[in-house]
Amino acid sequence: MNNHYQALLQSRMNRESYEKLAALNNPKVMSFVGFFVDHCRPESVYVCDDSEHDIRHVRSRALETGEETALAKAGQTIHWDNYGDQARDRQNTRIMVPGEKLESMSALNAIDLKDGYKEIQKIAKGIMEGKEAIIQFFSEGPTESPFTVPCIQFTDSWYVAHSEYILYRSAYHHFLKMKDSEKDDFFCFLHSAGALDERGNSLNLDQRRIYMDTHNNIVYSLNCQYAGNSVGLKKQAMRLAINKAGREGWLCEHMFVMAAIDEEKNRRTYFCGAYPSACGKTSTAMIPGEKIVGDDIAYFRNIDGAFRAVNVEFGMFGIIKDVNEEDDPVIFENLMKEQELLFTNVLMGPDRHPYWLGMGVDTPEKGRNHFGIWQKGAVDDKGAEVRIAHGNARYTMRLDYLENIDKEGFESKNGVQVEGILYGGRDSDITVPVEESPSWRDGILLKAATLESETTSATLGEEGVRKSDPMAITDFLSYPLGQYTMNNIRFGEQVDQAPRIFSTNYFMKSAAGNFMTGKLAKKVWLHWAEGRLHGEYDAYDTPTGKIPRYEDLATLFQKHLKEEFSKDDYDYLFSFRCAGWIGKLERTKAFYAKMDPHTPQELFDYWDQAIEHIRAAKERFGDVILPGVYRP
C-alpha cells in the first residue's frame, strides 16, 4: 500500500472509515481514493458500507447540510438543482480517448485523453475544500452474479450519495469478497458539486464537466448536481458499460425489463424495450396488470446459449411530469405515501407537500422550487416564464415499493430470459403502433436503427425537434455507432434463440393533429406481441415486417380496455406509408454517416435494398398501402 496515501487518508478519516477502506485490501481502491483526496482536498472523508447505519447517516446528512429539505410526509424529501442544471448536459459530456481514436469518435463529442485529463485536473484541484466527501460501494446488477459490475462512488454531495443508495445495490460486501484476480475490475466515479451558492447549489455551471475515461473506467463529474450528470452509477456507468460490453461480447442497453402477464393462460413473458427520453418507456414498463423489473438500463448476457437480461438498478429516477391518479395510478399512489421518496425540481407548497406539472390536482400559487422562492407568473432573467416545476423534474424511489414489481425477475442473479424486444419512438405520421420484425437482424436495422423522436425537456436545449436516436442510445454511446450496431446484430445471432423484435409508436396523430389512441392502448400492442411470441395471431405482411389483423386487435381492445376499436382507426393507424418510410431510411443513413464515418458498408447496402423494396411496393400498391393489401 502507498504510504503517502495511508498517512493522508488517516488524517482525513476517522478510524472507522479508514478501517472500512483498509479491510478491502484493494490497492486500486486505495490509490483512487488517495489520489483524489490529495487532489480535491476534502476536509474529511466518510466511508460507507452496506449497513442501515450508514444509509441513515447519509439521509440525515443530506438534510443537515440543506441539500435536501424534509416534506410534510415522513420519509419524503426534496432537492433542487441550480436553475439551469435540471437536465443532462450534452455539450459538456465528453468521452476521453487517445489521440489516434479522436477522428472516429468526433461525432461522440470525444476529447483527447491527455487534454481532457489536464482540464479535469485543473478544475478538480481543491474543489472539495471545506467539504466532507463520501465514499460508497455499489454494484450494477445483482451482486455476486454473472452480470455484476462493481463500482466505487466518490462524491461531496449527500444528495448524490442518498440517490445512489436508493437507486443501486450497495456492494461493500461484494468488494470485501473479491478475489485478488478481480480486484482491478470496477468502475470509478468522482463527483463534486463544486462551490455552492447560498441555496447549496452548484455555482460554477460554466465549469460543469462530465468526462468519461473508458480506457481506465473512471468518470469525472464536476460542478453539477442533476442526477443524470452527477450520479455515477446511472448514465456515466452506462457509457462505461457500453464500452466494456462491446469489448467483452455482451450488451448494455437503454431499456426497461418487464413481464407481460397473461393470467388466463398462466404465462409470464419477458420483454425489454428502448425508448428515447419521454417516449413512453416507464409507462410501458408500468402498464397496469403487467410486472416491472426495471425502467431504464439493462445488461444482456448470453448464459449457456440463453438471451438473459437484468435491470442494473435498484430504484427508479422517473419523470414526474404528468404522473397523476388517472394516467399513472400505481406510481401516483406511491408518491403520496409516507415512505422514502426523494423529489427533485418540483414545487414545495406552503403546506410542505410536493407539486408538479400534470399532477391533476389544484396546485398552490407560491412556494419554493428550482427557481428559488416562486410565485405564479415568475420569469427568469431571460424573461421566460418559470412554471410550477421543471418539465424534467423527477422522483427517486426504490422499485420494490411497487406492488407490480416482478420480484422473481428483480432478484434473480441470472436475470430473466428475454423473448421480445420493443423499440418505440415518437412519430406522429409514419410508424404503425406495432409491427413485428421478420428476424433479429432486420429488427436491429429497421426497427432499432431507425428510431426517431422529438426532443423533450430531459436534455438541455430546444424542445420539439425530430431526431434520429438509434436504439435510444445516441446520448450514451462510448464507441462508434456502426460498430455498436454490428455488436448488437452479432450478440443476437450468437444465442440459441434471439428475442423477436417489435417496433411500437404511441404517438400517431390524426389528420387534425390529435393523438389517435388513448394512453393505455399500449397494453393492446404489447399483448398482440405477447400472443405472437406464443404463436397465437396471424399477421399481414408489410414491406418492413408483420402487422396485426383488425379482428385480433378489436378483440384485444375489448378484452383489456373494454373499448371499441374502429376499422377506420385501424386502417389509418396500420397503413404503410411508403414515402414516409423512404424518408426515414434516408435520415437513418445520413445519421449513421454523420455519427460514424467508418460505419460498415453492409449497413448502408441493407438500407439501400430496403428503400428499393419500398419503392417497388409503392409502384405496385400506391404510396399509402392499407393493411392486408401488400403482397411480398
426 binds ligand SPV (CB under 6 A): no
Q: Which region, judged by CB under 6 A, interacts with ligand SPV, from 227-235, 322-330, 354-362, 407-415?
A: 227-235
Instruction: Indicate which of Mn ion, ligand SPV, none lies near residue 208 (CB less than 5 to 8 Å, by partner kind).
Output: none
Residues 486-515 that bind ligand SPV (CB under 6 A): none
Q: Do residues 160 and 210 touch, judged by C-beta distance below 8 A?
A: no
Instruction: Give the residue at shortest CB distance from Mn ion.
Output: 296
Question: What is the C-alpha to C-alpha distance for residues 342 and 319, in angstroms, rounded to an integer?
Answer: 12
Residue 228: CB minimum distance to ligand SPV, A: 2
Given the complex with ligand SPV, which of 81 and 119 has the nearer CB atom? 81
Given the complex with Mn ion, which of 436 and 452 has the nearer CB atom? 452
**Pick from 200, 228, 246, 273: which binds ligand SPV (CB under 6 A)?**
228
458 binds ligand SPV (CB under 6 A): yes
Closest listed residue to residue 374, CA positions, set 393, 355, 394: 355
Instruction: Indicate which of ligand SPV, Mn ion, none lies near residue 426 (CB less than 5 to 8 Å, by partner kind).
Output: none
Given the complex with ligand SPV, which of 113 and 421 has the nearer CB atom? 421
Q: Which three cell numbers stand for residue 293?
A: 423489473
68 binds Mn ion (CB under 5 A): no
Instruction: Indicate which of ligand SPV, Mn ion, none lies near residue 317 (CB less than 5 to 8 Å, by partner kind).
Output: ligand SPV
Catalytic-role residue among 188, 272, 279, 578: 279
Question: What is the C-alpha to C-alpha distance for residues 271 and 419, in angstroms, rounded to an integer?
Answer: 6
**Pick from 54, 89, 156, 296: which binds ligand SPV (CB under 6 A)?**
296
Q: Which residues contact 348 (CB under 8 A, 6 or more apart)?
A: 69, 71, 78, 354, 355, 367, 368, 369
Q: Do residues 53 and 140 touch, judged by C-beta distance below 8 A?
A: no
Given the complex with ligand SPV, which of 226 and 374 has the nearer CB atom? 226
Question: What is the C-alpha to C-alpha distance for residues 554 and 426, in angstroms, rounded to an integer?
Answer: 24
**Pick from 164, 290, 296, 452: which binds Mn ion (CB under 5 A)?**
296
Closest listed residue to residue 124, CA positions, set 29, 240, 219: 219
Residue 325: CB minimum distance to Mn ion, A: 25
Instruction: Indicate which of Mn ion, ligand SPV, none lies near residue 170 (CB less than 5 to 8 Å, by partner kind).
Output: none
Question: What is the C-alpha to C-alpha distance for residues 310 and 294, in angstroms, rounded to an integer?
Answer: 8
Residue 125: CB minimum distance to ligand SPV, A: 27
Residue 235: CB minimum distance to Mn ion, A: 7
191 binds ligand SPV (CB under 6 A): no
Length of the chain: 632
Residues 75-94 that bind ligand SPV (CB under 6 A): 88
Given the complex with ligand SPV, which of 49 and 295 has the nearer CB atom? 295
Site string for Mn ion, 182-201 (x = CB under 5 A): --------------------
235 binds ligand SPV (CB under 6 A): yes
Q: CA dist 626 to 147, 436, 522, Å?
A: 45, 17, 21
Instruction: Indicate which of ligand SPV, Mn ion, none lies near residue 234 (CB less than 5 to 8 Å, by partner kind).
Output: ligand SPV
Given the complex with ligand SPV, which of 281 and 618 has the nearer CB atom? 281
**Residue 10: Cβ within 10 Å count:** 14
How many residues bind to Mn ion according to rule CB under 5 A? 1
Amino acid identity, position 350: P
List, in sequence order, every residue forming a beta bridge with 308; answer none if it has no partner.
301, 417
Q: CA dist 172 to 17, 37, 165, 177, 590, Å?
A: 12, 20, 12, 9, 46
**Pick from 137, 138, 158, 317: which binds ligand SPV (CB under 6 A)?**
317
State residue 551 phi and psi, 5-degree precision.
-55, -45
Q: Is 188 a catalytic residue?
A: no
277 binds ligand SPV (CB under 6 A): yes
Residue 295: CB minimum distance to ligand SPV, A: 8
Amino acid identity, position 259: A
User: Which DSSP string corresponds to 556-618?
Assistant: HHHHHH-----HHHHHHHT-EEHHHHHHHHHHHHHHHHHH-TT--HHHHHHHHHHHHHHHHHH
> Judging by beta carbons within 10 Å of its beta carbon (0-12, 13-18, 19+), is residue 465 exposed, middle or buried?
exposed
208 binds ligand SPV (CB under 6 A): no
406 binds Mn ion (CB under 5 A): no
20 binds ligand SPV (CB under 6 A): no
Helix, strand, coil percentages (3-state) for the chain, rounded to 5, are 35, 25, 40
253 binds Mn ion (CB under 5 A): no
Question: What is the C-alpha to C-alpha distance for residues 490 and 6, in angstroms, rounded to an integer?
Answer: 46
> Catalytic residues, which ones?
279
